[in-house]
Amino acid sequence: MFTGIVTAIGTITNVEDRGDTRVVVACPWDPAGIDIGASIACSGVCLTVVEKGGKEGDAWFAVDVSGETVARTAKDQWRADRRLNLEPALRLGDELGGHLVTGHVDSVGRVALVEDIGGSTRLEILAGADIAPFVAEKGSITVDGISLTVNDIEDEANGDVRFALNIIPHTGEVTTLGDLSEGDAVNLEIDVLARYLKRMQSLAG
């Protein structure tokens, strides 16, 4: 489990086809603190560390990305030089600063608007009808691994949903959200509580 609070930005330095895709990510961590077999959320995708190296402040780790994961995540995410939001798995006793995040991508959305508003940035994301019932005003959603609060929503005629987020300057600087442009694809994970409520509602009805 994760919290959606990004602790570092990593950069993909190498991508190799080994049946699955072996991805090497450079990061500013201490390799001594990265365990083989540990889970790390990479822009919202929970992956397992299979190799590591480097030195403190200039580490790297490798993960294997399955074809299923590649197909279900944002286009061009698994390429060299791509920056990733990184978060190690939640440990017992850690502060839950965001909301409970599983690291499983539910859908890929598209950035429909990037607008500067008084120093902050308004992001509007267009997402499919499959997750529209799970997006609620003032509810939580994970975008590229970042826990965010939905400011407002608009349901599209075709069943899709358009929702707005406010990105403060600090969040834009310490995550990849500041890199986003209109048309970019983003990984989305719905709030786990919304998932269970929807299931309970379907059984009750």
Q: So what's the pLDDT on residue 195?
A: 74
- Rounded to 5 degrees, what are φ and ψ at 71? -70, -25
Residues 6+ apart with CB under 8 A from 200: none
Print burial letters for 130-144: b (CB count within 10 Å at least 16), e (below 16): ebbebbbeebbbbbb
Residue 16: per-residue pLDDT: 97
- Please, which residues bridge with residue 9 across strands? 85
Residue 93, classified by CB atoms within 10 Å of its CB into exposed (0-12), middle (13-18) or buried (19+), is exposed
| pLDDT recorded at residue 166 | 97
The Cα angle at residue 21 between residues 18 and 23, in degrees rounded to 5: 115
Taking the CA atoms of residue 194, residue 125, residue 41 and residue 195 in that order, the dihedral angle to the nearest 10 degrees is 10
48 touches 37 (CB < 8 A): yes
User: pTM of the entire structure?
Assistant: 0.92
Please report, in angstroms and rounded to a whole number, the separation of the first and last CA atoms in the chain.
30
Other beta carbons less than 10 A from residue 115's beta carbon: 11
Tens digits of pLDDT across the chain (205 residues): 899 999 999 999 999 999 899 999 999 999 999 999 999 999 999 999 999 999 999 999 999 999 999 999 999 999 999 999 999 997 766 666 677 899 999 999 999 999 999 889 999 999 999 999 999 999 999 999 999 999 999 999 999 999 999 999 999 999 999 999 999 999 999 988 777 777 777 777 6
